[in-house]
Chains A and B, each alone.
Chain A
Amino acid sequence: MFYREAGEFSTTYKDDSQTFPIKFDRWRYYFVLFVAVFVIPFMVNDYWVNSIFLPFLIYAIAAIGLNILVGYCGQVSLGTGGFMAVGAYACYKLMTSFPDVSMFVHVIIAGAITAVVGVLFGLPSLRIKGFYLAVATLAAQFFLVWLFNRVPWFYNYSASGQINAPERDTFGVLITGPNTEAWAAYLFCVVFTIVSAVIARNLTRGSVGRKWMAIRDMDIAAEIIGVNPLTAKLSAFAISSFFVGVSGALFFSVYLGAVEVGEVFGINKSFLVLFMIIIGGLGSIFGSFAGAAFLVLLPVALKVVGVDWLGWPTDIVAHLQLVIVGALIIVFLIAEPHGIAQLWRVAKEKLRLWPFPH
């Protein structure tokens, strides 16, 4: 009853290839956008922004990026943490070198630099496949973290080896640094997240998206029908790394403000983002959001239940979290390899017919 598509017919191919061909979905999408941009900024406080909204928005960008590579193009990468570090350090160098330039520009250029690095580490994908490639991307992970740890130029020779985000603004509003207003940081990230999602959607529904999926499903056949594996794979690496770099830049500059590379962008970060897309749904933009939301909320929920209600020490809760995340990954891979996105799709199918399923 909630959901009717009877009477809706696409009369042109243009209508048929919309993201939300059903009117109800379309309106809901506009509503969510409206709330995200015009309502939430005026209602949130520091706690909500810093512990939920910022990590969610930023991880969603990273998850979209990784999903393009893994979910759409089928190239498994375990180097996400390293590429996020590239975005963070590029952003840091830009912020300190060009203090007067808007943060928007910095973040986008940081993404572009990460894209170049991503292509570089994506080159081996032309020769090696599957988990050979997954392990090869570990080289990127370990090498990049080492690089930012050991080469002082990257952290401007600071004594602690950390990088700290200086105060920078965009259109006169502070975006980074300790004096940033919660709504400004939120709004800045939400713009990046929405634009990233729209771009990712546009790319994946068009010809380049089909090239990626063709490579994913059967690379040899893809090549024989005219897909150049070189450009297809490298474009996936470039675009994926661009998004991951943008998220790394935001993660450092807007969210954390200070970063020690081994701690923040270590291999666990790579796994975390990979888990987001497995749980959320491989090959789905919505799934990237769902997975990011899930894994951002899970520790918060566990902390509330375990520490605040049951009074357990935090280390037990942290260990329990490992157990739960690990188990969830396995459960999802067994029961629903397409993740939350697929559960959502099935629920919609059911709702469409409810309450008369026959």
Chain B
Amino acid sequence: MLDQSEGYTTADGRKIGPVVMEMKNITLRFGGVEAIKDISFDIREGEIRAIIGPNGAGKSSMLNVISGFYVPQEGQVFYQGQPRPPMKPYQVARQGIARTFQNIALFEGMTVLDNVMTGRLTHMKTGLFWQSMWKGRAETEETVNREVAEKIIDFLEIQAIRKTPVARLPYGLKKRVELARALAAEPSLLLLDEPMAGMNVEEKEDMSRFILDVNDEFGTTIALIEHDMGVVMDLSDRVVVMDYGKKIGDGTPDEVRGNQDVIDAYLGVAHD
């Protein structure tokens, strides 16, 4: 069992800090269907935490609970040590939680740069009056935030398509722009919903490199859902395994790999 307060050191020598987010006994129902049944786990500062499981296991629902889109019927979410009251998704975002989506949710009518700049919206506070004047506060704020956005654009190597409307981009680039938008918010917790779905091997390698770099350079805590086992085992520090809305495993990749329930869930076993 891992030490609850101190954190730990990973095999590659990174220091993982205290618990940032803790899910306690979360249960989520849609009508009569229980999508998540009494699940508890935590995410520690600086770690890459994966949530895996077969289709329909409730992974995306879990991510939606974390980002505030669904409110669980039972259980409590703790964020930075505090119990989090039920709040709207935009309030969650303002607490420093950013995410990407399984089916890309970019703003198709805007350019790449504008999309990335929307990630900065939680940091931009100038009132309507000053914005209508532009010169002065609004322009300064725009420039400061543009610098951050450009840093991210640089980091993810999408400078060339800066002014291209998102609707014209191919799938792989869209995924990267979406990551850029989430990163632009400078989140303390980054949620990635299947960042590599539908990508070929090269694109997956690129994306894996970016995820590791983000974690490394910005120290961002990352929780991700992914189907590609190889990727998950390589990237993540700890893994939660879900099946039919229940947690069936939790631990380092190696521990999870050896877990009999997990093997059953993936390879299939007669349910009686």
Contacts and interface: CB of A to CB of B under 8 A. Distances in A.
Chain B interface category by residue count:
35 or more
A302 interface: no
B89 A211 contact: no
Nearest to B119: A225
A208 B129 CA distance: 11
B86 interface: no
Interface stretch (A150-158, A215-223, A305-313): A215-223
Interface string A1-27: 000000000001110110000000000
B107 A226 contact: no
Interface stretch (B26-34, B139-147, B223-231, B232-240): B139-147
DSSP class of B's interface residues: helix, strand, loop or mixed? Answer: helix
A226 B139 contact: no
B2 interface: no
B131 interface: yes
B132 interface: yes
Contacts of A206: 126, 131, 134, 138, 142
Contact of B118 (A17, A210, A229, A239): A210
Contacts of B141: 207
Interface in A209-266: 210-211, 213-214, 216-218, 220-229, 235, 239
A213 B167 CA distance: 14
A199 interface: yes
Contacts of B101: 221
B133 A226 contact: no
A283 B121 CA distance: 20
A309 to B, nearest CB: 43
Contacts of A239: 128
A205 B134 CA distance: 9
Contacts of B67: 224
Contacts of B117: 207, 210
Chain A interface category by residue count:
20 to 34
B146 A13 contact: yes
B107 A221 contact: yes
A51 interface: no
Contacts of B181: 225
Nearest to B64: A224
A268 interface: no
B147 A13 contact: yes
Contacts of A203: 128, 131-132
Interface centre among A14, A226, A235, A239 (most CB of B within 10 A): A226
Contact of B142 (A13, A199, A213, A222): A13
A210 B109 contact: no
B226 to A, nearest CB: 20
